[in-house]
Amino acid sequence: MTTYDAVVLAGGAARRLGGADKPGLTVGGRALLDRVLAACSGARSTVVVGDRRTTARAVLWVREDPPGGGPLAALDAGVRATRADLLLVLSADLPFLDEQTVTTLLAALDGGRQEAALLTDPGGRDQPLVAAYRAEPLRRELALLAAEHGALSGLPLRLLTAELDLARVAADPATSLASFDCDTWEDIATARARIREHGHVLDEWITAVKAELGIELDVDTGVLLDLARDAAHGVARPAAPLTTFLVGYAAAKAEKDGPEAVAEAARKAAALANQWAAEANEAG
């Protein structure tokens, strides 16, 4: 695994949201900031630049001086609290950022000479706050910009990226929404609607429940869905949720690893449900 630190920018006035607490807004029942933190959970250390708040996992909090100095000043404050040679830099308003995108950005710097790898959105625009940076050139350019302009407050990010040797990672417009950020209430509404679409809702719901319950467990959802169907058809509709609950309870008491225990309990329960169905057919 690539060793990296993460810097997440969670400040800003959110003027287009009427001054709302943007990092704390929820999409799929999870705060935007927590969704971003989940995507970079592999970071050795995670620094969040912004006002301190409750988060799903532990982070280091810092603030630019003066507060509200803009993204370059915030980035500089975050970078000063890191130690890794590779830095992942993210904004806190990316509801669909995933671990695969993080891995791809970091991998884009492996073995190459580029100083940063930026995600580009489906329109071809660079996203400097969805990017991986080599720490040394990033620190160098931040220091040079501060010396040239007297301070970093109010300076645009393009002044930084214009001085770096960049690799670009294109987001697949058909499958990836990693570059989608929430700047307006319309964006928030779009994100909330998107996760309820048929192809996303189950994964989003399961991820949200695991986060809420503090569960780190990957299971074959297809097995559980098949079990629920067999129990509903072979026994009675209320048997579906009750059976999956009992499978989870049995797996928790088993001595085997979580996913294997769930799969074994599900197989046993499915076989029993199918036996009930067979007996009912014979009786009919």
CA–centroid distance for 51 within its chain: 20
8-state DSSP, 153: T
Average pLDDT for the chain: 88
Q: How confident is the model at residue 263 (pLDDT cuts 50, 70, 90)?
A: confident
Among 187, 212, 156, which residue's Cα sits nearest to residue 22?
187
Query: Which position has the higher pLDDT, 34 or 196?
Result: 34
Q: Helices (H) and strands (E) in the chain — how many of each?
A: 10, 9
Q: Are 133 and 87 in contact (CB under 8 A)?
A: yes
Per-residue pLDDT tens over the stretch 173-189: 655 789 999 999 999 99
pLDDT tens for 17-43 read 888 889 999 998 889 999 999 999 999
Q: What pLDDT score was predicted for residue 129? A: 96
Q: Is the pLDDT of residue 90 over 80?
A: yes
Most confident of 12-16, 101-105, 107-111, 213-217: 101-105
Q: Where are the alpha helices (DSSP H) in the chain?
A: 32-39, 71-79, 99-107, 135-149, 158-161, 185-194, 201-213, 221-234, 239-253, 258-283
Say which residue, 68 or 202, is predicted with more confidence.
Answer: 68
pLDDT tens column, 133-154: 999 999 999 999 999 999 999 9
Burial of 43 (0-12, 13-18, 19+ CB in 10 A): buried
Per-residue pLDDT band at 79 (split at 50, 70, 90) = very high
Q: What's the mean pLDDT in 2-25?
A: 88
The pTM assigned to this predicted structure is: 0.82
